[in-house]
Amino acid sequence: MHWDEGLVRVGEAAPVPNTLLQVATCCGEDMFFAALESALRQSLLSPAGLIWLRRHLPTSMRWLVAFARADADSGLESLIRLRLHRIGITVRTQVRVPGVGEVDFVIDDFLIVEADGREGHAREKERSKDLRRDAAAAAAGYTTLRFTYELIIDDWHLVEAAIRGALARGSHLAPVV
């Protein structure tokens, strides 16, 4: 059970800004940020609600409201963008790559990062589609790094190491012809 200053009638859901504040104080920055971007994606926060939320957040977390966007397709994408931002890596989100389609992230010009959630990527048909897209991206000069839910949530250090390694090798740069 969580307590806050707001009043909620029995049988009604707590207001979204109040719920997000509880997530921020109980679950930390990462989970708060994922929940915030999800609420933005679903248009569950009014401008007044965002102002209220920012005002009530701990000072150290207020920057997350300004950094949040409404285009993340999943909480995993939110976590990747936030965690890469913290280590100084900027990404472009929801990028349309010719011959490939929309990808989750592109770093610089040629490094694609994809977040594969539990649903949608587990079935053989979806997995085959992902691999075809990766092959098309490779043919166009891109390197694709694909990470599962478990890697992103439980083994972030491996995800970060893979991305840093790809950057160190120059995988994000235009191929030399």
Note the pTM of the prediction, 2 decimals: 0.86
Domain that holds residue 171: 71-177
Residue 6: predicted pLDDT:
57
Residue 119: predicted pLDDT:
61
Residue 77 and residue 64 in one domain: no
Distance CA 17, CA 113 (A): 31
- The packing angle between helices 156-168 and 75-86, to 10°, is 60
Residue 46 and residue 64 in one domain: yes
Q: 3 pLDDT exceeds 60?
A: no
Residue 139 and residue 157 in one domain: yes
